A = this chain, B = another copy of it.
């Protein structure tokens, strides 16, 4: 999704993509080349992305052509129509896939392009998820507080504080969304315009 979303903003080559993904996800850790390039290959085989001919932008290089052995240059990728469609589909998903830890970050990074109702659904789902974790942690901490050594206690407490903070953050975002949402709802009586 990160790749599709970035290519949706502008065509670019793999190396550039890698740096952008890194920033997008908060500089936590870069995608390795051994992961990035095969992914691009697969996406190309799936027809989601293509390599426009630099000499003639109306033409697209065939999917199996350009090893360009010996002299490799930059390979600029662009989204195809299917790729855009696929990205739009991902943008519409509002189920658990969108709020579990692995994807929430990427999902959130493209919130500006996500419909208001989907945003709200994801934020609420995420909050429920994090609240569950918080309650579990709180319960376990309450049960075992006496038996734990200083460090384990410290670790669990810090973990609890962290999820607590995340819940508050999400709640603020949700409140904000609700305010914006009602404002918009009052303005438009027609279905949400698909601003593609």
Query: Which residues does A use to contact B, with CB under 8 Å?
Result: 23-24, 26-28, 105, 108-109, 111-112, 133, 136-137, 140, 144, 149-152, 154-156, 158-159, 161-162, 165, 169, 173
B26 and A109 contact, CB distance less than 8 A: no
Contact check: which of B109, B158, B162 meets A151 at CB < 8 Å?
B109
Copies of this chain present: 2
Which B residues touch A154, using CB under 8 A?
A: 173
Give bound CA distance, A26 to B156, whole Å.
6
A-B residue pairs in contact (CB < 8 Å), sample of 22: A23-B144, A26-B137, A26-B155, A27-B133, A27-B136, A27-B137, A27-B140, A28-B133, A105-B155, A108-B151, A109-B151, A109-B152, A109-B155, A112-B149, A112-B150, A112-B151, A112-B152, A158-B169, A161-B165, A162-B162, A162-B165, A165-B165
A26 and B108 contact, CB distance less than 8 A: no
Which B residues touch A109, using CB under 8 A?
A: 151-152, 155
The closest CB in chain B to the CB of A137 belongs to: B27
B23 and A140 contact, CB distance less than 8 A: yes
